[in-house]
Amino acid sequence: MLGLNSKDTSLLLVVAALTMLAPFILNPFPEGSELAQFNAGYPDLMQRFVIFGIFAIGFNILFGLTGYLSFGHAAFLGVGSYGAIWMMKLVTLNVIPAIIMAVIFAGLFAVVVGYISLRRSGIYFSILTLAFAQMSYALAYSVLTPITGGETGLQLKSTDNPIFNNLAEGEIGRASLFGMDMRTSFELEAGAWLFTFNVGYYIAAVFMLLAFYMSIRIFRSPFGMMLRAVKSNQNRLSYTGLNAKPYTLAAFVISGMYAGLAGGLLVAMDTQVGPERMFWTASGEVVLMTILGGAGTLIGPVLGAGMIKYMENIISKINDNILHQWFAWMPDGLEDFTVFLIHPFIGKGWHLTLGIVFMLVVIFLPGGLVEGGQRIGRMLKGRKKTSGGDGDPEHHPKPAPHVAE
């Protein structure tokens, strides 16, 4: 279907089903129950899942396929965001032109940065991208204040009057899709459960599915194969008559455009942007997402993005009181001790948890969560049938899986 083989089609369908049903799946606990705080099915968080999923999918096209580790991808997200907000401020509140603008801006910027950075490889490439991103951040923060709003960033204001919208005097515009307000939500009460369906989320989700579909196509295309060849052996590639530069540059620009799309969608959701979106820690975050989920796999980056955003929002909400409730069944002294032990990893300490999980993944699971899943699957399979058949590619040891099965 859609030019995919049956395996990829089913993967796409599963992902589609999960994203469409996310308001149900992410809200498994009844409203008002103790566990309700672990519900992730509220619009703001769900939007972040899919938007950062797009960001990570795009990053993975560069890093996962070619092995070029960019430490400056947040710059493209930021540039996309600025492009989108100006489109909404000046032209129209409809999100589609804003998103298109974001992709174009980010793409153009990626052409420039990529053209220069790709003249070097390895660590030099990483540092060049980092330098570009930090430069963009510093510029957005200071000199370009007239365009970027400096430290305070840009928001839709009552003074903005996009030419294609008739706003009343003093009215603050709201992002919309052909008149559908992004912030509109429908709520569904089912017994003790409350499910929220948000317009913005579904628009972002559709973009994510589109982005995911395109990434599958790229992974399976001759182009994707060439990119993996770049990672594997550039020397052989050039003696095979292929020029690695345009391939890597194309991958760089495509991933930059994905970042721009994510940036545009962020603006479409909350109509604001600040320079901190381009800070290098934001670039580091997308690296973490991709590696955590599984670089070079199809679904990994989406999983990684989801996991990090979930941790960020949920783990940081857990506090000692909640822990005491959980461990109330323990003897008093032990309960306090357990809470004391866990305390550094929750609440504001979620970054610590993230850092540790990330290190463990890099050390023991270079293929990320996807490889972990595959290993568990293999273990379960291995118990059923003792010998793996020869000639089956899945059973050959490989340093890092490139393509999700």
Partner 1 sequence: MEAIILQILNGLDKGSAYALIALGLTLIFGTLGVVNFAHGALFMIGAFCAVILQRLLSLSHQVVDETRTDFLGNPLKVDVPYVYDWFGEAAGQAIINWSVPLAIVFSIPVMVAAGFAMERGLIKYFYKRPHADQILVTFGLAIVLQEIIKYFFGANPIPTPAPPAFTGSFDFGALIGLENIIYPYWRLVYFLFSMAIITAVFGFLQFTTFGMVVRAGMADRETVGLLGINIDKRFTIMFGLAAAVAGLAGVMYAPINSPNYHMGMDFLVLSFVVVVVGGMGSLPGAVLAGFLLGILESFASLPQVIDIIPGINQIIIYLVAIVILLTRPRGLMGRKGVMEE
Partner 2 sequence: MGILEVKGVGKRFGGLQALGDVNLSVQENTVHAIIGPNGAGKSTLLNCLIGKLIPDTGSVMFDGQSVLGRKPHEINQMGISRVFQTPEIFGDLTVFENVMIPCFAKRDGAFRLHAFESVPKEKDLVQQAEEMLTEMNMIDKRHMHAAALSRGDKRRLEMAMCLVQQPKLLLLDEPTAGMARADTNNTIDLLKEIKEKRDITMAIIEHDMHVVFSLAERITVLAQGTPLVEDTPDNIKGHPKVQEAYLGQAH
Q: Which does 344 bind (CB under 5 to 8 A by kind): partner 2, partner 1, none?
A: partner 1
241 binds partner 2 (CB under 8 A): yes
Near partner 1 by CB under 8 A: residue from 120, 157, 236, 375: 120
30 binds partner 1 (CB under 8 A): no
Q: Smallest gap, in angstroms, from Cβ of residue 398 to partner 1?
A: 14
Which residues are CB-neighbours of 193 under 8 A, at least 6 positions away? 27, 30, 31
CA distance 405 to 401: 9
Please provide the DSSP assignment of 111-175 as one string. Answer: HHHHHHHTTS-HHHHHHHHHHHHHHHHHHHHTTTHHHH-GGG-EE--TT---TTS-PPTTPPP--
Which range of residues in 121-129, 242-250, 266-274, 298-306 is near partner 1 by CB under 8 A?
121-129
226-256 burial code (b ≥16 CB/10 A, e <16): bbbbbbeebeebeeeeeebeebbbbbbbbbb
352 binds partner 1 (CB under 8 A): yes
At 195 the three-state DSSP class reads strand
115 binds partner 1 (CB under 8 A): no
Residues between 204 and 233 with contacts to partner 2, criterion CB under 8 A: 214, 217-218, 220-226, 228-229, 231-233
| Nearest Cα to Cα of residue 307 among 294, 298, 296, 320 | 294
Q: Which residue, 28 or 246, has its beta carbon nearer to partner 2?
A: 246
Tokens (6 digits) for 307: 């996991």
Residues between 156 and 215 with contacts to partner 2, criterion CB under 8 A: 214
Q: Which residue, 188 or 362, has its beta carbon nearer to partner 1?
A: 362
Q: Which does 135 bind (CB under 5 to 8 A by kind): partner 1, partner 2, none?
A: partner 1
132 binds partner 1 (CB under 8 A): yes
Near partner 1 by CB under 8 A: residue from 123, 147, 172, 376: 123
Please provide the DSSP assignment of 217-258 as one string. Answer: HHHHSHHHHHHHHHHH-HHHHHHTT--HHHHHHHHHHHHHHH
CA-CA-CA-CA torsion sign (223, 224, 229, 230): positive
Q: Smallest gap, in angstroms, from Cβ of residue 361 to partner 1?
A: 8
354 binds partner 1 (CB under 8 A): yes
Task: Name the helix (H) or strand (E) containing 362.
Answer: helix 350-364
364 binds partner 2 (CB under 8 A): no
Tokens (6 digits) for 39: 């519900």
Q: Which residue, 250 or 299, has its beta carbon nearer to partner 2?
A: 250
Q: Which residue, 17 or 360, has its beta carbon nearer to partner 1?
A: 360
Within a 10 A sphere around the Cβ of 381, how many other Cβ atoms? 12
Q: Which residue, 238 or 319, has its beta carbon nearer to partner 2?
A: 238
Near partner 2 by CB under 8 A: residue from 10, 243, 281, 319: 243
Using CB under 8 A, list all residues that contact partner 2: 3, 5, 214, 217-218, 220-226, 228-229, 231-233, 235-243, 246-247, 250, 254, 391-393, 396-400, 402
